[in-house]
Chain A
Amino acid sequence: AQSVTQLDSHVSVSEGTPVLLRCNYSSSYSPSLFWYVQHPNKGLQLLLKYTSAATLVKGINGFEAEFKKSETSFHLTKPSAHMSDAAEYFCVVGLYGGSQGNLIFGKGTKLSVKP
């Protein structure tokens, strides 16, 4: 069965410092993995996705994530945080499910950025 664990419910960084949001997954198949960002009272925006191509995935707004099969991890990083990065981040596993293709969401990590 597929599952996803976000190891930190809240991460706080200073503006200009690196960001690391951790995610571990469990999947019976070679998974599809996503990171989505949600700003307050907004819908979700896709940051990046891994679909068995390059293990280092570059996304929007300077974010990237590395798929490590040996560690079953898909951590999200950014070299330098910006105030506008403050939001909720969800790590998501995509299910292979024929016509459904459901997503399993992690519980989310709230990123705070201090000036």
Chain B
Amino acid sequence: GAVVSQHPSRVICKSGTSVKIECRSLDFQATTMFWYRQFPKQSLMLMATSNEGSKATYEQGVEKDKFLINHASLTLSTLTVTSAHPEDSSFYICSARDGTGQETQYFGPGTRLLVL
């Protein structure tokens, strides 16, 4: 099946720094990628949807200036958490969907962010 990777798998940073998370579709072209956030023992919450070559669409309540999303190619999307604070600590998961019209999203393994 389709494989999606994320890098890094885990990151610890100081408050005020920026962190970039990469999401790659390894064996298919992802016309659309999604970024989710998951708090401990909770479900996934969609943060934003990005289509290759266009601006991301953010869900209500998600600060687009804080969570910068770039989808520059059909296999790569990046999420940058700018000026991270401890409340940004979370598990960030990306997913990707190919352009065949199917609704299945293929999920990456997630990135655990801890802001000290």
Contact = CB atoms under 8 A, between A and B. Distances in A.
A41 B97 CA distance: 22
Contacts of A90: 43-44
A101 B1 CA distance: 20
Interface of A: 32, 34, 36, 41-46, 49, 51, 90, 94, 96, 99-103, 105-108
Interface of B: 1, 4, 6, 32, 34, 42-44, 46, 49, 51, 57, 91, 93, 95, 97, 102-110, 112
26 contacts: A32-B103, A41-B110, A42-B109, A43-B4, A43-B93, A43-B109, A43-B110, A44-B44, A44-B93, A45-B107, A46-B1, A46-B106, A90-B43, A90-B44, A99-B32, A100-B32, A100-B57, A101-B32, A101-B105, A102-B49, A103-B34, A103-B103, A103-B105, A105-B44, A106-B43, A107-B43
A101 B109 contact: no
Contacts, number: 54
A78 B78 CA distance: 37
Contacts of A45: 107
B39 to A, nearest CB: 12
Contact of A94 (B42, B103, B106, B110): B103
B110 A42 contact: yes
A103 B112 CA distance: 22
